Structure 1
Amino acid sequence: MITILKISNEEVADIVPLLKELYMELGEESESIEFLNENLINEILYSGLTDIYLAKYDNEKVGIFTLTENQAIYAGGKYGSLDEMYVIPEYRNKNIGKLMIDKIKEIGKEKSWERIDVTAPTEKIWERTVHFYKNNGFVFTGPKLKLKINRHN
């Protein structure tokens, strides 16, 4: 049986390994893994802006996603950002990703979001990931850029 539930502060330690696996699989910058610790995750949860969900398959922790509420004029008001989503590779053929997207859509409706954005890698090796999102109703709208802010200087 597959369950998908919002985590509490007591479950933060359970998600660190899943996030680390996600960042390593994506080839994320080392700083993403450097930032990864229980204190930061607790701060993010405490902010109330981001919720973290854990997917379990027969009580085994197999997936995670994070959703953050944003707002913008171009989006028509409030919208969600799917910041992280990961399913352990050996469970990817068990429909868990689809069930997670269904849960994300349900949450978006409950929160009256106009849309949900996700940044997906565009390199050829990630075609399957982009295809997964498109098969679940997402449409490609272009790349995302970032500007790093050095908060400590």
Structure 2
Amino acid sequence: MSSNFTIQRAITDDAQEVAVMVGELLAEIMNAIGVQAFNFDLVETTSRLQDFLNREKYFVFVARGVSGNPAGFIALYESYALYAEGTFGTIPELYVRPDYRTNGLGLRLVSQAKSFGAARGWKRLEVTTPPLPQFDRTLAFYEREGFAISGGRKLKVSL
């Protein structure tokens, strides 16, 4: 039951635990798509996250079970766009460890993100899921939480 978890905003001391879960998330995605789509280094990711948290460029909420062990997290960053009518938030990562899925913990993390964003005056939250059949359950989860497909595809270019 998700009520057995506490959700708190991450501080720099939480960075390594969150970075480990980021590695688990990326490995799960790459396993699902069969492509080495991400590079992951635990030390670099931990350091990067500490920097982002210190500069308030990234906001992370960690869910912990009664034992204090991390069960999942949601990350957010603030963006600005005219199409979005001002300031909005983006969810680059949401991860719940497999043993804790299907108990409402993902919903609680998204609810925390919505509350945080509303308190910051964000107009909306955005998230991107891969348009692949392997991620239909992820898409269905977000749709159940009130997210609507807004079109387009996420593209990238390395700099």
Taking structure 1 as the reference length, the TM-score comes to 0.91
Question: Partner residue of 1:44?
Answer: 52
Question: Partner residue of 1:147?
Answer: 157
Cα distance in structure 2, aligned partners of 1:99 and 1:89: 16
Structure 1: where are the runs of 5+ without partners?
A: none
**CA deviation string 1:15-43 (max 9, x = no partner):** 12111000101116232x13753211111
Cα distance in structure 2, aligned partners of 1:30 and 1:79: 26
Question: Partner residue of 1:121?
Answer: 130
Q: For CA contacts below 8 A with separation 6 or more, give which structure has more relative contact order.
A: 2
Relative to structure 2, which stretch is displaced further, 46-55 or 88-97? 46-55
Question: Partner residue of 2:26?
Answer: 23
Give 1:80's aligned amino acid: G
* Counterparts in 2 of 1:61 and 1:41: CA distance versus 1, 3 Å: same
Structure 2: where are the runs of 5+ without partners?
A: 31-35
Question: Partner residue of 2:33?
Answer: none
Cα distance in structure 2, aligned partners of 1:40 and 1:21: 17
Tell me whether 1:134 sits opposite 2:143 in the alignment.
yes
CA-CA distance at 1:10 after TM superposition: 1.2
Pick the aligned partner of 1:34 from 29, 41, 57: 41
Tell me whether 1:73 sits opposite 2:57 in the alignment.
no
- Give the secondary structure class of the aligned counterpart of 2:41: helix
**CA deviation string 1:86-116 (max 9, x = no partner):** 0001111211001111111111110110000
Relative to structure 2, which stretch is displaced further, 49-58 or 67-76? 49-58
Taking structure 2 as the reference length, the TM-score comes to 0.88
Give 2:69's aligned amino acid: E
Percent of counterpart pairs with the same letter?
Answer: 26
Question: Partner residue of 1:56?
Answer: 64
Cα distance in structure 2, aligned partners of 1:113 and 1:5: 20
- Count of residue correspondences: 148
Backbone CA RMSD of aligned residues: 1.4
